[in-house]
Chain A
Amino acid sequence: GQQLNQSPQSMFIQEGEDVSMNCTSSSIFNTWLWYKQDPGEGPVLLIALYKAGELTSNGRLTAQFGITRKDSFLNISASIPSDVGIYFCAGQGNFGNEKLTFGTGTRLTIIP
């Protein structure tokens, strides 16, 4: 099925550094979602974005819904060890076309 272009594919950073990742699509979405998945667990919803241009924060996480509705980014400030995991973006269309289209994922590793 269709997947969103998510980058980078992986990141190796030191604790305390800021992180930035993004997703782009050729299609317009009504909703952008960011999930984090730890090994052996299901994806956990981090941030949901519903409006073009919307900027939303959740603690150290900030995400924006692109003005064209075709992209989104997620920033993590002052990374800590528990930020390790795989981050997925997901786009969702209107009712009737509301299936989630997932990004390919960004694997975040923190170097001690």
Chain B
Amino acid sequence: DTEVTQTPKHLVMGMTNKKSLKCEQHMGHRAMYWYKQKAKKPPELMFVYSYEKLSINESVPSRFSPECPNSSLLNLHLHALQPEDSALYLCASSWDRGSNQPQHFGDGTRLSIL
């Protein structure tokens, strides 16, 4: 069982809806990440939070809005998404951003945009 918990597991939404993805970890990790993964492809980094502050935004469209309310929680707010945004959204965490701190992934939210 993963120690990074993501909810919901599946989400279907229309292009005009607003929804949020949630991620939680209780390992005391101070870096948290959002990735997008299309079928048969590796994960692609979207955002990195370090000590609850946004440190990397990989030029993600503004219809994706991340939020880190505290060190254990990471949200991804979705609004006016496009069909091409359908994908598996993965959350990950690590002790910090250093290269000797491997990232641990949740099981993801499978998002479908109608």
A binding-site residues for B, Cβ under 8 Å = 1, 3, 29-31, 33, 35, 40-45, 48, 50, 88, 92-95, 98-100, 102-105
B100 nearest CB across to chain A (Å): 6
A100 and B45 in contact, given A30-B100, A42-B90, A92-B99 (Cβ under 8 angstroms): yes
Main secondary structure of the interface of B (DSSP, over half): loop
Kindly list chain B residues whose C-beta atoms are within 8 Å of the C-beta of A104: 41-42
A93–B4 Cα distance when bound, in Å, is 23
A88–B45 Cα distance when bound, in Å, is 15
The answer to whether B27 has its CB under 8 Å from any CB of chain A is no
A92–B96 Cα distance when bound, in Å, is 13
B2 nearest CB across to chain A (Å): 6
B97 touches A98 (CB 8 A): yes
A94 nearest CB across to chain B (Å): 6
Q: List 16 A-B residue pairs with CB atoms under 8 Å apart, sorted by A's residue number.
A: A1-B58, A31-B102, A40-B107, A41-B107, A42-B105, A42-B107, A42-B108, A45-B103, A45-B104, A98-B97, A99-B48, A99-B56, A100-B45, A100-B103, A102-B43, A105-B40
B38 nearest CB across to chain A (Å): 12
Kindly list chain A residues whose C-beta atoms are within 8 Å of the C-beta of B44: 1
B99 touches A94 (CB 8 A): yes
Number of interface residues of B (CB under 8 A): 26
Kindly list chain A residues whose C-beta atoms are within 8 Å of the C-beta of B40: 105
A36 nearest CB across to chain B (Å): 11
A98 and B107 in contact, given A3-B42, A44-B2, A88-B42 (Cβ under 8 angstroms): no
The answer to whether B66 has its CB under 8 Å from any CB of chain A is no
Q: Counting chain A CB atoms within 10 Å of each CB, which of B42, B45, B56, B110 scores highest? A: B42
Kindly list chain A residues whose C-beta atoms are within 8 Å of the C-beta of B106: 42
B22 nearest CB across to chain A (Å): 15
The answer to whether B69 has its CB under 8 Å from any CB of chain A is no
The answer to whether B98 has its CB under 8 Å from any CB of chain A is yes
